[in-house]
Structure 1
Amino acid sequence: MTACSFSCGMARASGTSRTCSPAGRTPTGPTSASRRPGPARVRGRTRAGSSTSPSPRSGSAPSTRSTGSWKASARPISRYSASLADPVGERFDEAALSNGLQVHKRRVPLGVIGVVYEARPNVTVDIAALCLKTGNAAILRGGSDIRQSCAAITSVIAEALARCGLTVDAVQSITDPDRALVGALLRMDKYVDMIIPRGGAALHRFCVENATVPVITGGIGVVHLYVEASADITRALPLIFNAKAQRVSVCNALDTLLVDRAIAPELLPHVAATLAPAHVEMRCDEQALAILQNSGAHVSAAAPGDFGTEFMDYILAVRVVEGIEQAIEHIAHYGNGHTEAILTENSAAAARFTDEVDASAVFVNASTRFNDGGQLGLGAEVAISTQKLHARGPLGLRELTTYKYIAHSDYAVRG
């Protein structure tokens, strides 16, 4: 499917001629780009924002940043977005009040959304599709290494919008390599309604510290899976492999495995054997290392910083814990509210874990890889928010809207 056809399809489905109408303005922001603030995103990220570089290994998955990969991911996103229900115009919370008012809320677009991202050209298509579907305008700034790709994609989208009779300025791409323009975009609170950074910790920190526009942060995840004492070991193994090795370079991939001491001697050798075909390095605490050091598995002693690192590589931190309380304490200390999971056959343990773990998504007996808009039934997403305002978790179509109160009456006056 061409960009033209997906844009026209979404325009017919959502009526994107209303783009920016809530604010009564057009996106007259910068039309050129800057170098991304901070270093390029790398696979290993610590909670503090430092990084580690992945080492080459045989059997590693192909790069998700290849041209074929982003093209393949862009096509289904655009098609699926066009098929989703349009949230704009939805009426909800209707009430007839004693003061004579008939009140309801109506869902409306946010307005103009600025997105600053790094090394994935498919984000250009994802954001354009979702913003057009929800009647929002988008100002996009991709990393300098994908600058030409972003410009080409945006040009095709503009052509498609023109053919549909819509404003070509509804989706703009900043392509000028002047770094100052990113800072300018972040401070355009008169024109831009929301900023969404997609990239490493340095990019998120730069946006938060320099923006006067509201910023939705997230996408950086130190992800944990706790295997509780009652877990089914046989069924746990393929789930652990899926969470860690299916796709290591994404934010919902597993970083730290927490294993209950009661089942660690039985479980950990099986985990090592299961992960061996993917050449996963297991960085273990003292108890886990004692269990695995003579197993022939690819294991090493964990460094102090390993338990706070988003690896984005074939590396897994492993710790043996005394029970669910210590597992929850570990997650509270090292996690950043992205994705957490427990494997258990104990309903009380599951309830305690979901009640006490603070994250955008908490899973029971499911892979952490399910924290995704499409997998959670939201359709496509623009990012995963780890904050609590204005939205949390995957940002789908509804999260790209706000609402207004509409009140009708018969010439009512306030008493």
Structure 2
Amino acid sequence: MSEVIEKGKRAKVASFTMMERTTEEKNAALCAIAAQLLQDEAHILQENERDLIEGKEKGIDSAVLDRIMLNHDRLVAIHDALLQVVELQDPIGEILEVIDKENGLHIEKRRVPLGVIGMIYEARPNVTVDAAALTLKTGNAVILRGSSSAKYSNQVLVESIHRALEKTTIPQDAVLLIEDTSRQTASELFTMKEYLDVLIPRGSKALIDTVVANSTVPVLETGAGNCHIYIDEVANPQMTTQIVLNAKTQRTSVCNAAESLLIHRKYVEIHGEELIQVLLDADVTLYGDEAICNMDSRIYSATDEDYATEYLAMSLSIKTVDSVDEAIQHIQKYGTKHSEAIVTELQDNAKRFQQLVDAAAVYHNASTRFTDGFEFGYGAEIGISTQKLHARGPMGLPALTSEKYYIDGAGQIRQ
């Protein structure tokens, strides 16, 4: 029996146990995990360093290494996110709708767990803990399948989670890791409908496209982030610079970082050179159209490929546009329906942009970096959905639930 099937069976059994666990029991488990992670910090960081050393030897890109890296501050942030999930309302059992029929039937629609969630992801070891936290809180079991680039980190984190769960009423099999990171195990997960209720891919566009194309298990799709900022003709220059710098440089390797800048021609004429200089001074590599390239010899000529690229690095494509509608059309062509922003003092343009841009999160005068479960108040997130069915945007606890109708009667029969 393969590792995937064996752990699928164990997770399925654990999911039935999880259905009976109370909010208090689940919260106690999350608190135990948070404490255990800090207690095991030295060992966790040691194993994480093994991943980083191997990654450097294999020539893994620095942006990917940044996503793999754990340090004290990041571990504390993971700890804090767990405790924030504890404070969140448990959605399980929430009554969403009540219907009382004339024949006396009492119908309630309630939130229930999904069952067994499969999580296939790249690089980020924090996803290991985030996924465990959110699935446990919602009464689910989870099968985790990370990438080889973070295998030691994922293994040690799950070991810590199991040590913590051993002290609680939550079964250890509610959180399982597929340690074999070969393509074969990924392919097995794609078709494990007998044990998996949903599969969530999180990582590169290539990974997500592969899962969507090949999975027979229902997929909760998390998309790539080719995020745009449109600077309108009337925009506050100081605010604009702060937003652009934050969205591009605060952390480049994440999906909510800005990858493309659209600037109204009138803004370019007045403030363009100043903004371009700030970006160059921040060591951002720029790819622009003719109007932008004419400002500085260090700017490269942008291609269609640049406008379609999620750099995840200190690079940015820039295009000059003549209207908010042209900016919207550009985003419709190149955007990935993740996060888009407009910087403007014209309320009508802001309203039009937010209404017509097709994305999970559309900002007015704010950085795209806020598209995040923690920032939205969800605690840890399972991912950011760019699809429209079941869930969209940062997926917190409600996204990991389904619905069930509870019907109480007194002997009614249908005529």
- Aligned match for 2:143, one of 111, 133, 139: 139
Q: How does 1:101-140 map to 2 (within 5 A)?
A: 101-140=105-144
- Aligned match for 2:252, one of 248, 251, 274: 248
> Which residue is equivalent to 1:301?
301
> Which residue is equivalent to 2:224?
220
The answer on 1:281 being equivalent to 2:285 is yes
> Which residue is equivalent to 2:196?
192
Number of aligned residue pairs: give it.
364
Secondary structure, in 3 states, of the residue corresponding to 1:230? coil
> Which residue is equivalent to 2:314?
314
Secondary structure, in 3 states, of the residue corresponding to 1:234? helix
Cα contact 1:64–1:70 (8 A) shared by 2: no
Secondary structure, in 3 states, of the residue corresponding to 1:377? coil
Secondary structure, in 3 states, of the residue corresponding to 2:77? helix
Secondary structure, in 3 states, of the residue corresponding to 2:266? coil
> Which residue is equivalent to 1:25?
none
> Which residue is equivalent to 1:148?
152
The answer on 1:166 being equivalent to 2:170 is yes
- Aligned match for 1:261, one of 261, 265, 272: 265
2-structure distance, mates of 1:377, 1:120: 21
1-structure distance, mates of 2:363, 2:97: 30
Amino acid at match of 1:89: G
Cα contact 1:219–1:384 (8 A) shared by 2: yes
The answer on 1:361 being equivalent to 2:361 is yes
Summarize deviations over 1:170-225 as a string: whole Å, max 9, x none: 00000024431211112111110111111112211221122111111224111011
Which structure dedicates a bigger proportion of its chain to helix?
A: 2
Displacement of 1:14 in angstroms is 4.9
2-structure distance, mates of 1:251, 1:268: 26
2-structure distance, mates of 1:386, 1:78: 24
> Which residue is equivalent to 2:42?
none
User: How much identity, in percent, do the aligned residues show?
Assistant: 40
Displacement of 1:98 in angstroms is 2.8
1-structure distance, mates of 2:155, 2:237: 49
> Which residue is equivalent to 1:67?
70
Summarize deviations over 1:149-187 as a string: whole Å, max 9, x none: 212221221222221132111000000244312111121
Cα contact 1:218–1:338 (8 A) shared by 2: no
* Pair 61,401 (structure 1): closer, same or farther in 2 beyond 3 Å: closer
The answer on 1:329 being equivalent to 2:333 is no
Amino acid at match of 1:358: D
Normalising by structure 1, report the TM-score: 0.83
> Which residue is equivalent to 1:238?
242
> Which residue is equivalent to 2:97?
93
Secondary structure, in 3 states, of the residue corresponding to 1:262? helix
Normalising by structure 2, report the TM-score: 0.83
Amino acid at match of 1:238: Q
Cα contact 1:148–1:175 (8 A) shared by 2: no
2-structure distance, mates of 1:317, 1:376: 28
1-structure distance, mates of 2:173, 2:332: 44
Displacement of 1:343 in angstroms is 1.0
Displacement of 1:62 in angstroms is 9.1
Cα contact 2:147–2:181 (8 A) shared by 1: no
Summarize deviations over 1:50-91 as a string: whole Å, max 9, x none: xxx97x8xxx99934323165243222222112211111111
> Which residue is equivalent to 1:183?
187
- In the TM superposition, structure 1's runs of 4+ consecutive aligned residues that sit over 3 Å from their partners are 11-17
Higher alpha-carbon deviation: 98-107 or 355-364:
98-107
Amino acid at match of 2:344: T
Cα contact 2:133–2:380 (8 A) shared by 1: no
Displacement of 1:267 in angstroms is 2.3
* Pair 166,61 (structure 1): closer, same or farther in 2 beyond 3 Å: closer
Summarize deviations over 1:250-309 as a string: whole Å, max 9, x none: 00000111011121122222212332342011211112222x226xxx422113310000
2-structure distance, mates of 1:71, 1:152: 13
> Which residue is equivalent to 1:386?
386
Cα contact 2:67–2:123 (8 A) shared by 1: no
Cα contact 2:81–2:374 (8 A) shared by 1: no
> Which residue is equivalent to 1:414?
414
Cα contact 1:70–1:121 (8 A) shared by 2: no
* Pair 240,72 (structure 1): closer, same or farther in 2 beyond 3 Å: same
> Which residue is equivalent to 1:24?
none
Alignment gaps of 5+ in structure 1: 1-10, 20-41, 43-52
1-structure distance, mates of 2:182, 2:376: 38
Summarize deviations over 1:322-353 as a string: whole Å, max 9, x none: 10111110000001111111111122111111
> Which residue is equivalent to 1:229?
233
Secondary structure, in 3 states, of the residue corresponding to 1:243? helix
Displacement of 1:128 in angstroms is 0.7
Summarize deviations over 1:15-63 as a string: whole Å, max 9, x none: 449x9xxxxxxxxxxxxxxxxxxxxxx9xxxxxxxxxx97x8xxx9993
Secondary structure, in 3 states, of the residue corresponding to 2:102? coil
- Aligned match for 1:205, one of 192, 202, 209: 209
Secondary structure, in 3 states, of the residue corresponding to 1:263? helix
1-structure distance, mates of 2:139, 2:218: 19
Amino acid at match of 1:115: M
